[in-house]
Structure 1
Amino acid sequence: MDIFSKNIIAEKLLFVFWSNGYHLTTLQDLQHELDMRPGSIYYKLGNKEALCRLAMEFYIDGLNSKFLEAKTKSESPIKVLKEFVVLLLKDFKSTSPNYLCFLMKIMTEINDRNSPLFTSAKIAIDSFHFKIESLLIEARERGEIRNATCCKSTAILIQSFIDGVRIATKKSTHDVAIADITDDFFGFLF
């Protein structure tokens, strides 16, 4: 399977699993979305867990792309971080079928901490916390934020802000100015 076909399939899988959740996604949902017979799905793509993992990889690749895009726009770690948050939230507002981060949705739905899907989602979330924390450490070293700033706690706070804005934008009946809200939030933080 070429990368183009794999990405199209992964995007469709992401939509189904993100909309329905892992446990509520049925074989019929997958058949309908992929326009494939069950035997073909299992033969070409694997079982339900493998399909969800493919969706997670596609989602993580999208996060990484946004992070790299943000890094190309500024030398300032704080500006990179703000840009990343804005890119993430704007894309999320227009494309996501659910107000939860896909990785968070998988983690909250799968209660088994020993599950490979739970572990993969947690590793990905921890990786993004580390990226945010690293930018904050760099910002502190450059004097962009206070020396007393706890970068680990602030990274978690920024993730909480992202999750909160996601919920607000999905539940709101009026247009939310994501860039303005992000500027205000970073103004409060730093």
Structure 2
Amino acid sequence: MIDKATNLYWKKGFHATSMRNLQTEIDMRPGSIYAAFGSKDGLFKEALRNYTDITLTLLEKLKVKYKSPTEVLKAFIKIQVVDTAKDSPNGMCMLAKTIGELTEDNQTLIDTTKTYMNEIASEFIKLIEQGQAMGEINKDKNSKDLAIHVQIQIAGLRTFAKISNDKSKLETMIDNIFVHYPFN
């Protein structure tokens, strides 16, 4: 049920998702949604948590698959940019889309989204620091700044992927993130 709600919110956004949309998608009546989640906002928070958990789980799986922190980051970005461009409910990150959509009227949801973005950034920081310790990433660079750089690159590349069908160009652009400034 949460996966279906997550995909619906990710596809349509918070404001464009009506209670009727939710009712149809998750097969719950409004009263049941309110009883289970307190409100549409409460269900949205659960969807944001779910999206974040899916993202963190993906990072953990990639850490098992790749021994190099840089390769983990590259693989993660490729999945987020190339693989999800057409296969996900929306080619944009649900968290970034939420930040872009909501206004101060939804400050609690914005704060929740920022918290979840910071959780993902913290995982990037850990990977970057491991890469620095292994000599893959310049030790003189600030790991927090590099994590922000990765998040910005993902957002930009996901936008570019929506207008370009050239997967090899996208993959080259992703590889170049780690070859050029600020990682070297």
Deviation at 1:45, TM superposition (A): 3.9
Deviations 1:64-104 (A, max 9, x none): 11100110022222122222222333442243333431112
Structure 2 unaligned residues grouped into runs of 5+: none
Percent identity of the aligned residues?
31
What letter is aligned with 1:176? Answer: K
Residue 148 of structure 1 corresponds to which residue in structure 2? 140
- Distance in 2 between the 1:115 and 1:140 partners? 36
User: Which 10-residue stretch deviates more, 111-120 or 33-42?
Assistant: 111-120
Deviation at 1:49, TM superposition (A): 0.8
User: Which 10-residue stretch deviates more, 124-133 or 40-49?
Assistant: 40-49
* TM-score, reference length from structure 1: 0.83
Query: Aligned match of 1:165 in 151, 157, 161?
Result: 157
Residue 57 of structure 2 corresponds to which residue in structure 1? 65
- Distance in 2 between the 1:90 and 1:153 partners? 24
1:72-83 pair list within 5 angstroms: 72-83=64-75
1:13-32 pair list within 5 angstroms: 13-32=5-24
Are residue 53 (structure 1) and residue 42 (structure 2) matched? Answer: no
Residue 179 of structure 2 corresponds to which residue in structure 1? 187
* TM-score, reference length from structure 2: 0.86
Structure 1 unaligned residues grouped into runs of 5+: 1-8
Deviation at 1:23, TM superposition (A): 2.0
- Distance in 2 between the 1:88 and 1:105 partners? 14
Counting matched residue pairs gives: 181
User: Which 10-residue stretch deviates more, 51-60 or 80-89?
Assistant: 80-89
Indicate the RMSD between aligned Cα atoms, in angstroms: 2.1
Deviation at 1:114, TM superposition (A): 7.7
Q: Does the C-alpha gap of structure 1 residues 51 and 95 become closer, same or farther in structure 2, counting only changes over 3 Å?
A: farther
Q: Does the C-alpha gap of structure 1 residues 123 and 74 become closer, same or farther in structure 2, counting only changes over 3 Å?
A: same
